[in-house]
Chains A and B, each alone.
Chain A
């Protein structure tokens, strides 16, 4: 029981650490069904990110595996004028971090 609780606390700690990095604007954890599990942004933005990112991930993963079936997607960075959206995918969950790298 203690282990699980510690693990839960560790997750919290890790997220907090990422949040405290310079320029990070928001973190979202989404599950495979598109349900945002955890988010530091407001609900409407969260839902928007969750929905759009999922589609993008599918496309990107499909593309990588199409070119080389042995390959797989490990990380996706989308750089835009205002910020950078980083997506770390996994089988069941994915983590989205929006960072504004200091210019």
Chain B
């Protein structure tokens, strides 16, 4: 039962100080025992009770507050010198040393221990007591023992801000790989909260507590790349379409930014450094359909631009939005662009006219191509990651990919080849799993599938030694993983086997393509023949306008025929009624006239009209 005590106070007394007073105890509730309840219980006899003669202790958990620690260096100075001696002073120290050397005790001691030392040195030279006796055999043993491929998390770098943003792009430091630059932004359209920070960070992989350096752009960065030639320079493409570059020696603010008028109109999804003599050229791609080339020394405007118009007319309205770029330094004249529409466009930098720049397109994907990379060992083959699959293509086959993974349950958001093994590539999915594929080992399933986190993984980058990889998630958590040795050491014959596999698949696709072409040719010739028989001259590839016109014509023909039929029927009926009565003739005549007018109008319309607007009017007759 509920025990309620109502406490009332006058409004005018609110805020007044409380006056406490003593009063005797008041009995509010007296609950008497209910004997009938005892019927629900029975007496327990005997009772088992455990007894122990020990100290009674209770468990209590304590967790200290998170302590933020920072590593700092201390400069040591030579110590041990007597107080009156300045260790920097050369003369004084030399004098001191000479004094010690003259000391007899010193000399005796040294003679003793030097003798012992000499003995050991000679020992070392006589026999190498640590010699490896079974070196060659050890190597073979290591090769045979096949360890399970595995990957383990080494470190996790969390976004230090309250409002978490997606880690959209990662880039390893070119020398030494001890640093990882991560770009953070929110790619959800207009969903970025107002207080979201725009900063991106450079992390030292040893220290996950605090980023080593912060980059403060004007708009959140979507992609970030280190200059492979100069490890202090980074270039970033931002959400508002501008490109900015930083010099890590100069601070967190961008050293220079591109002007808004000449930048992209959509977020810059990928920026890549080019091979050039000055080492300052970059090119960037965005979903506004342009690929722009910049020289970072002069960011006021791009020195070249390409509009991704598949009809090669440079028409921005038709352009395909670019989501990824690919550039291989061994092939500096070619580059590839992955588009939002699922096409991979291969382009030639050296072409004279913009129309020639776009060489060919590869279709086959259903969604935006998030990752595009050539195989570092076989540049003719490239990997694309889009929608629910990852596909491997050969440059020569444009109609379809030569190899593809099955359709997964979640979208694949990024992928890359391993830089040390030609048959290994990594992909990340929207459900937070990382898949490691080894096409020599298994083609249908990933060799290793690891659930890294619960949210979607948006980006992945492998370090140059192939051993470490970083993947960024939707909540800004970057995980550093190490793969097992088997996945990052080149196996014997691997290159030859992979090359064979690619060739075999390419040949298969070529044969299939040829066969398709033949079939299509046959179809075409057959349909052309049948059309000639009917006397029409329809071309197999009509444009949409022609098709529409043809459909209209046919419709009006049908309407005409129907109306004529009705009219004939009416005339028949009139004839019958004429014989019946004359007074009704006038009415009929009028009707006939109106019908005739209507029909005449109808006929004239159908003869001259091609405009669908009139089609509407017809319906109201």
Chain B positions 84-122 with a Cβ under 8 Å from a chain A Cβ: 96-97, 100-102, 104-118, 120-122
Which chain B residues lie closer than 8 Å to A89 at the CB level?
Answer: 113
A17 to B115: give the CA distance in the assembly, Å: 10
In the complex, which residue of chain B has the Cβ closest to the Cβ of A31? Answer: B100
A92 touches B76 (CB 8 A): no
Selected from A7, A23, A38, A91, the residue in CB contact (under 8 A) with B124 is A23
Residues in A with CB closer than 8 Å to B117 are 18, 86, 88, 95, 97
Q: How far is the CB of A52 from chain B (nearest CB, A)?
A: 11
Q: Are A38 and B97 in contact (CB under 8 A)?
A: yes
Whole-angstrom CA separation of A75 from B121 in the bound complex: 12
Q: Is the CB of B121 within 8 A of A95?
A: no
In the complex, are the beta carbons of B121 and A97 less than 8 A apart?
A: yes
Q: Which B residues touch A103, using CB under 8 A?
A: 128, 131
> Smallest distance from the beta carbon of B89 to chain A beta carbons, Å?
14
Q: Give the chain A neighbours of B79 by CB distance below 8 A.
A: 33-34, 51
Residues of B within 8 A of A74 (CB): 116
Please, which residues of chain B bring their CB within 8 A of the CB of A97? 117, 121
Contacts of A75 in B (CB 8 A): 116, 120
Whether the pair B124, A84 counts as a contact (CB closer than 8 A) is: yes
Closest Cβ–Cβ distance, residue A21 to chain B (whole Å): 4
Set of chain A residues within 8 Å of B78, measured between Cβ atoms: 35, 47
For A34, A37, A74, A79, which residue has the most chain B Cβ atoms within 10 angstroms? A37
Asked whether A88 and B113 contact (CB < 8 A) given A21-B125, A103-B128, the answer is yes
A11 and B110: CB pair below 8 A? yes
Closest-CB distance, B594 to chain A (whole angstroms) = 109
Contacts of B114 in A (CB 8 A): 11, 14-15, 18, 88, 95
Docked complex Cα distance between A8 and B96 (Å): 15
* CB of A93 closer than 8 Å to a CB of B: yes
Query: B109 to chain A: which residues have CB within 8 Å?
Result: 90-93
B118 x A8 contact (CB < 8 A): no
Q: How far is the CA of A79 from the CA of B132 in the complex (A)?
A: 14
Could you tell me the distance in whole angstroms from the C-beta of B104 to the nearest C-beta in chain A?
Answer: 7
Per the bound structure, the CA–CA distance linking A75 and B115 in Å amounts to 12
**Known contacts A21-B118, A23-B125, A92 near B113 by CB under 8 Å:** no
Which residue on B lies nearest to A33, using beta carbons?
A: B80
Per-residue B-contact encoding for A17-48, CB less than 8 Å = 1, 0 else: 11001111000010101110110000000010
A95:B110 contact, CB within 8 angstroms = yes
**What is the CB-to-nearest-CB distance from B16 to chain A, in angstroms, rounded to a whole number?**
71
Asked if B113 contacts A11 (CB within 8 A), the reply is no
Max chain A CB contacts within 10 Å: which of B80, B112, B118, B128? B80
B80 touches A35 (CB 8 A): yes
Alpha-carbon distance A10/B106, docked complex (angstroms): 12
Residue in chain B with minimal CB distance to A84: B124
State which residues 60-103 of A face B: CB under 8 Å.
74-75, 77, 79, 84, 86, 88-95, 97, 99, 101-103
Q: Do A51 and B101 touch across chains, with their CB atoms under 8 A apart?
A: no
Report whether B128 and A88 are in contact in the complex, using a CB–CB cutoff of 8 Å.
no
In the complex, A103→B111 CA distance in Å?
Answer: 29
Interface residue A2 (Cβ < 8 Å from any Cβ of B): no
Q: Is B81 an interface residue (CB 8 A)?
A: yes
Q: Would you call A11 and B111 a contact (CB within 8 A)?
A: yes
Cross-chain contact B102 with A4 (CB below 8 angstroms)? yes
Bound-complex Cα distance A97 to B114 (A): 10
Write the nearest CB–CB distance from B75 to chain A, whole angstroms.
Answer: 12
Residues on the B chain within 8 Å of A21, using CB: 118, 121-122, 125
Q: How far is the CB of A90 from chain B (nearest CB, A)?
A: 5
Q: Specify which chain A residues have a CB less than 8 angstroms from the CB of B81 in the assembled complex.
A: 33, 35
CB-defined contacts of B111 to chain A, threshold 8 Å: 10-11, 14
Nearest Cβ in chain B — how far from A24, in angstroms? Answer: 6
| Complex-state Cα separation, A91 to B96, whole angstroms | 20
Which chain B residues lie closer than 8 Å to A10 at the CB level?
A: 107, 111
Say yes or no for B130: interface residue by CB 8 A criterion.
yes
Choice from A8, A17, A86 contacting B107 with Cβ under 8 Å: A8
Q: How far is the CA of A42 from the CA of B439 in the complex (A)?
A: 53
A14 to B415, CA, bound (A): 64
* A18-B113 contact, Cβ under 8 Å, with A8-B102, A38-B101, A93-B106: no
Min Cβ gap B396→A in Å is 49
Which residues on the A side are within 8 Å of B100 (C-beta)?
A: 31, 37
Cα distance A15–B114 in the bound complex, in angstroms:
7
In the complex, what distance in Å separates the CA atom of A52 from the CA atom of B30?
79
With contacts A97-B121, A101-B124, A103-B128 taken as known, whether A7 is within 8 angstroms of B104 at the C-beta atoms is yes
Inter-chain contacts of A15 with B (CB < 8 A): 110, 114
CB distance from A26 to the nearest CB of B (A): 12
Which residue in chain A gives the minimum CB-CB distance to B124? A101
Distance A101 CA – B125 CA, assembled complex (angstroms): 6
A86 contacts B120, CB within 8 Å? yes
- Shortest C-beta distance, A68 to chain B (Å), equals 20
Given contacts A34-B79, A37-B101, A88-B116, contact A7 B107 (CB under 8 A): yes
Looking at the assembled complex, report how far the CB atom of B560 sits from the nearest CB atom of chain A, in whole angstroms.
Answer: 96
Contact status A102-B113, CB under 8 Å: no
Query: What's the least CB distance linking A34 to chain B, in Å?
Result: 4
Asked, given contacts A35-B80, A88-B113, whether A22 binds B104 with beta carbons under 8 Å apart, the answer is no
- Distance to closest chain A CB from B125 (angstroms): 5
Docked-complex contact B125 and A17, CB < 8 angstroms: no
Of A29, A51, A74, A94, which is in contact with the most chain B CB atoms at under 10 Å from its CB? A29
Give me 22 A-to-B residue pairs in the complex whose CB atoms sit less than 8 angstroms apart, sorted by A's number. Answer: A10-B107, A11-B107, A11-B114, A14-B110, A15-B110, A18-B121, A21-B121, A23-B124, A31-B80, A33-B80, A34-B80, A51-B79, A90-B112, A90-B113, A93-B106, A93-B110, A95-B113, A95-B114, A99-B121, A101-B128, A102-B125, A103-B131
Chain A residues packing against B (C-beta within 8 Å): 4, 7-8, 10-11, 14-15, 17-18, 21-24, 29, 31, 33-35, 37-38, 47, 51, 74-75, 77, 79, 84, 86, 88-95, 97, 99, 101-103
Binding site for A on B (CB under 8 A): 76, 78-81, 96-97, 100-102, 104-118, 120-122, 124-125, 128, 130-131
13 extra A-B contacts, CB within 8 A, seeds A21-B122, A21-B125, A93-B110:
A7-B107, A14-B114, A15-B114, A23-B121, A24-B121, A31-B80, A31-B100, A34-B80, A38-B101, A51-B79, A74-B116, A93-B109, A99-B124
List the 5 closest pairs (A to B, CB-CB), nearest first.
A33-B80, A34-B80, A88-B113, A101-B124, A14-B114
